[in-house]
Every structure is written in structure tokens, then in C-alpha cells.
């Protein structure tokens, strides 16, 4: 697989074979991600991190990845401090970042912003989340987590829970899981159902997702429970948010219905949807999942910049 110079905008741009090879490369990166081994394969390279929306894990794990590969990072975590505030267009901001660095990571509140950025940048652009659209690098670390915890991606019954309408992580993940032929169950309040477009994509790949709002029932057959936060910032109306916030809560009481080897994932940040008492159970893998962002993003940065271990 040769990803050199390639943009990473949507997981749909990748074949299963390409995804498998990224996951294989990510595994090789683990000792480097942990600081047990050292490499300088991206020495002299510069990454721009352009975050027009809040982020903790995505930005810091990209920065950690670039540093661990011997590269350097420039960027911003808040557009208020940039010339966007003076009215500069996204395309001009991208042109600048492109001329100052070798690769761009962008997070933006508008769907399609990363695709637009890629049109104006000569160097590769990695989508770190575009509004309620897609989040391909999160998707790859989610797949990597399922693979390492469950030994395979296929043959799992995966329950995607919560805000399936506005949650970009689940839009990417549903498609990718369907590509592997995993079983999908979508659990959400009626007003936050998975967009039709995403369900259609799954069906086109031969996977018919099940829909329910009954979590107790869904959890009984689940191998993976992927929990999401209700995306408050995407609600046009606060009333609507107040109606659904707190609707699902994972706690030890609910886990009585779960399989012994159920894993619970969450892209984080969590708000109220997972009780901290669950953190100590063997089911909780969300902190490991967050760490997996580093080896996976190391593999992606090396691949698009042509670095080899
Ligand atoms: C997610 C995101 O930004 O879409 N966070 C992340 O990247 N780990 C999920 C969220 O904000 O709820």
C-alpha cells in the first residue's frame, strides 16, 4: 500500500485491504508510541494542526505522534487567535499552512471543510472531524481497538449507542464495520437515529443494521458496546437537547445484562453516559482506545509522508 501524499478525508476512500495494512503498521508503532523504542523517520518534517473546534485527544495524540516520529508541530487549538477572526477565508488559511508545513490535520465545524482544505493544499490533509460528517482517523483507532481486544473485527455484534445523528465517529465506524461484515445494532432516541445515508451505505455492503431504543435488550447479545456523547453543540435548539440528555446511562446495574466478554468503547469525552464506576470493570476499554490514537496516527503520518520504519 502506498499512501504517500494521500489525503485522509473519509474512511470510504479506503479498501479493506488498505485498512488492514494501516492496522498492521499501527501495531508495529506500539513500542514507539509508548516511548520504549525511538525513531526519527519524520525528522525535518513539520505538521500543522488546525483546530477550529475543541479537542483534547485528537490534537494531543497527533502532536505526540509527530513528536515521537522525530517531526515537529505548529498550529492552533482555537481559531479566535488566528486571522480567521479578521475574516480570512478557510482556503487562504490552508494555503498558508501548506506552505509552512508538510502535512495538515484539520478539525472544523462544517461538513466538507476537510475535503475543501485538501483542494487547496498540495501536501496531504487529514480530516480530524468535520462537523457532524466524518472522523476517519478516529475510525481507524476504533477498528484497531476492536482488533486488539477481540482478535478480529468481523464476527462481532457491535451496538452503536447514543447520538447517532450528529456523532461523526459512528458515521465512519458503521461504514467500516459493515465493510468487515460485522453485525450492527443502532440504539438511540428516535430523534437521534443514524442518518439514512449511513444505513444505506451499510446495506450496500451487505449488512442490514438493526434499530432499537431498548438498550437492556440490545446489550444481551453485544460483543462491543460503542457509547457516544449527545453532541450538544450540534443541536439547533436547547430544548431538544434537554429532552434527550441523560437518556442512556451505562452503570454496573445495566452491565448485569452483559456478556462476560463485552467491551465498552467511547471516543471520549464522556459527560454523563458512562458512570465512572464502570471504569474499574474488565469491560471498560475506552482509555486504552484513547491511547491507541497514538500508534494509529503515527502509522498514518508516516504513511502519508513516506516514512518507513
Ligand atoms: C469525538 C469527536 O470529536 O467527534 N471525540 C474525539 O475525537 N475523540 C467525540 C465527541 O466529541 O463526542
Q: Tell me: cis bond preceding 280? Omega within 30 of 0 counts.
A: no
In the set 6, 59, 107, 171, the catalytic residue is 107
117 and 262 both lie in a single domain:
no
Q: Are residues 158 and 248 in the same domain?
A: yes
What does the buried/exposed string (b/e) look like for 228-241 if buried means 16 or more CB atoms within 10 Å of the residue's CB? bbbbeeebeeeeeb
Same domain, 229 and 182: yes
Same domain, 20 and 141: no
Same domain, 20 and 96: yes
289: Cβ contacts below 8 Å, ≥ 6 apart:
141, 142, 145, 265, 266, 267, 268
Alpha-carbon distance of 81 to 200, in angstroms, equals 40
Whether residue 4 is contained in a domain is answered as: no
The answer to whether residue 1 is domain-embedded is no
- CA separation for the pair 3, 305 (Å, rounded): 8
Cα first-last separation, the chain? 14
How far is the C-alpha of 289 from the C-alpha of 51, rounded, in Å? Answer: 21
Contact 241, 230 (CB under 8 A): yes
Residues 18-36 pLDDT 10s = 999 999 999 999 999 999 9
Number of domains into which the chain is organized: 2
- The CB of 134 under 6 Å from ligand 1? The reply is no
d(CA 179, CA 202): 8
- Is residue 116 located within the same domain as residue 258? no
Q: Note whether residue 2 is domain-resident.
A: no
Ligand 1 binding pocket includes 61 (Cβ within 6 Å): no
Tell whether 63 is covered by a domain: yes
72 in catalytic set: no
Euclidean distance between CA atoms 210 and 218, whole angstroms? 10
User: CATH number of the domain that 279 lies in?
Assistant: 3.40.50.1370
Grid-cell match 457491535, residue found: 158
Give kind and range of the element (H or E) at residue 226. Answer: strand 224-227
- Is 82 marked active-site? no
- 179 within domain boundaries: yes
Query: Residue 60 is part of which domain span?
Result: 11-134+292-304
Q: So what's the pLDDT on residue 42?
A: 98
Give me the phi and psi of 107, to 5 degrees please. Answer: -120, 135
168 lines ligand 1 (CB under 6 A): yes
How does pLDDT run across 255-295, given as a tens digit for each residue? 999 999 999 999 999 999 999 999 999 999 999 999 999 99
Residue 140 inside a domain? The answer is yes
What is the pLDDT confidence band of residue 223, given thresholds at 50, 70 and 90? very high
Pick the atom of ligand 1 nearest to 53's CA: 3
Return d(Cα 13, Cα 36) in angstroms, integer. 33
Handedness of CA 142, 21, 114, 177 (dihedral sign): negative
pTM as predicted: 0.97
pLDDT at 159 over 80: yes
Q: Are residues 213 and 114 in the same domain?
A: no
Amino acid at each position: 500500500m502506498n499512501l504517500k501524499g494521500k489525503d485522509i478525508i473519509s474512511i470510504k476512500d479506503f479498501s479493506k485491504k488498505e485498512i488492514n495494512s494501516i492496522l498492521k503498521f499501527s501495531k508495529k508503532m506500539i513500542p514507539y508510541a509508548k516511548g520504549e523504542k525511538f525513531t526519527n523517520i519524520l525528522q525535518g518534517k513539520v505538521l500543522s494542526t488546525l483546530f477550529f473546534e475543541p479537542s483534547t485527544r485528537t490534537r494531543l495524540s497527533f502532536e505526540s505522534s509527530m513528536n515521537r516520529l522525530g517531526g515537529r508541530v505548529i498550529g492552533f487549538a482555537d481559531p479566535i487567535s488566528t486571522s480567521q477572526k479578521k475574516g480570512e477565508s478557510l482556503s487562504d488559511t490552508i494555503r498558508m499552512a501548506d506552505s509552512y508545513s508538510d502535512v495538515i490535520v484539520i478539525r472544523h465545524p462544517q461538513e466538507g471543510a476537510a475535503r475543501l482544505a485538501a483542494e487547496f493544499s498540495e501536501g496531504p490533509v487529514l480530516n480530524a472531524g468535520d462537523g457532524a460528517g466524518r472522523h476517519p482517523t478516529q475510525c481507524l483507532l476504533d477498528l484497531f481497538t476492536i482488533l486488539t481486544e477481540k482478535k478480529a473485527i468481523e464476527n462481532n455484534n457491535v451496538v452503536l449507542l447514543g447520538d447517532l445523528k450528529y456523532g461523526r465517529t459512528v458515521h465512519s465506524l458503521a461504514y467500516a464495520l459493515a465493510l468487515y461484515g460485522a453485525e450492527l445494532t443502532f440504539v438511540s432516541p428516535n430523534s437521534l437515529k443514524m442518518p439514512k445515508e449511513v444505513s444505506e451505505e451499510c446495506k450496500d455492503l451487505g449488512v442490514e443494521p438493526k434499530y432499537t431504543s431498548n438498550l437492556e435488550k440490545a446489550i444481551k447479545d453485544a460483543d462491543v458496546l460503542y457509547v457516544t456523547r449527545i453532541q450538544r453543540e450540534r443541536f439547533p435548539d436547547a430544548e431538544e437537547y434537554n429532552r434527550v440528555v441523560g437518556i442512556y446511562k451505562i452503570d454496573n446495574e445495566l452491565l448485569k445484562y452483559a456478556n462476560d466478554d463485552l467491551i465498552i468503547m467511547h471516543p471520549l469525552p464522556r459527560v454523563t453516559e458512562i458512570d465512572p464506576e464502570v471504569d474499574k470493570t474488565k469491560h471498560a476499554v475506552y482509555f486504552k482506545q484513547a491511547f491507541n490514537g497514538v500508534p494509529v496516527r503515527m502509522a498514518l503520518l508516516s504513511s502519508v509522508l513516506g516514512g518507513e520504519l
